Amino acid sequence: MSNPDELPGGDGPGYYRRMQAAVEELLILKGVVTADDVDRQVEAMASRDYTRGAKMVARAWVDPGYQARMLADGSAAAAELGLEIGPLRVIVVANTPEVHNVIVCTLCSCYPRMLLGIPPEWYKSRAYRSRVVREPRAVLAEFGTQLPEHVRIRVHDSTADMRYMVLPMRPAGTAGWSEERLASLVTRDALIGEAQIPEIV
């Protein structure tokens, strides 16, 4: 994918980058926001990453009560671990030996940023968004994820006000592990549903 910030050939900022800069300047001139507000938001966004979601997953793996609460209300479960997510409405979907969940936003690029940080480029690409609802296994295979034939796939298209996170299956070989060590196994792609977490051998 081309860089939206640059014109090909290094000819400076592209159309969308210039549009964004113009709107930002106008909002500041009109006193709607300050330059500080913008900087603080950018910093806050950059400081959040998927380790927040990983923390929830690790807790769910060791605490069945928490797991049940998380599946009933993802937003409350985030708050329970002290993760500030604002008004975000989170639905957590659990993988099982029979069902594998995958997240997409076919309309744009809705993503649970408050829990997973800034989305990867591929998540926003037209190819991913259009193909994963039509041939999810083919897409997963390109991520190196092979599902057994009998597993059913649930694709979640975040078209409106909910945001989704996958609860991956706890890998075999991790009995007795601490929550922290478990959290270190969780990858961003597993939380979106493109990957599984390999067993520990």
Partner 1 sequence: MGTAEPAAARFRAGDRVRVRAAYPPGHLRTPYYCRGRVGVVERLCGAFANPEELAYNRSGLPAQPLYRVRFRAADLWPDYAENREDVVEIEIYQHWLEQAA
Residues binding partner 1 (CB under 8 A): 89, 91, 106-107, 133-138, 149-162
Shortest Cβ distance from residue 97 to partner 1 (Å)? 14
Q: 7 or 162: whose CB is closer to partner 1?
A: 162
Q: Tokens at residue 127, please?
A: 């190819």
By beta-carbon proximity to partner 1, the closer residue of 113 and 156 is 156
Please state, in angstroms and rounded to a whole number, the distance separating the CA atoms of residues 15 and 35: 21
What's the farthest any 2 CA atoms get from each other in the chain?
60
Q: For residue 79, give every residue at least 6 positions away whose Cβ sits within 8 Å of its Cβ, in sequence order, or none.
A: 85
Which residue matches tokens 């930002």?
Answer: 24
Q: Please tell me which residue in 2, 75, 105, 125 is annotated as part of the active site.
A: 105
Q: Which of 2, 47, 75, 108 is catalytic?
A: 108
Clarify whether 109 is annotated catalytic.
yes
Say which DSSP state 100 is in: E
Q: How far is the CB of 82 from partner 1 (least distance, A)?
A: 24
Pick the closer one to partner 1 by CB: 116 or 139.
Answer: 139
Q: Which of 2, 47, 75, 109 is catalytic?
A: 109
Rounded to whole angstroms, how far apart are CA atoms 55 and 74?
A: 13
Q: What are phi and psi of 152, to 5 degrees?
A: -90, 140
The verdict on whether 184 is a catalytic residue reads no
Q: How far is the CB of 106 from partner 1 (least distance, A)?
A: 5
Q: Is 125 a catalytic residue?
A: no
List, by residue number, the catalytic residues: 105, 108-110
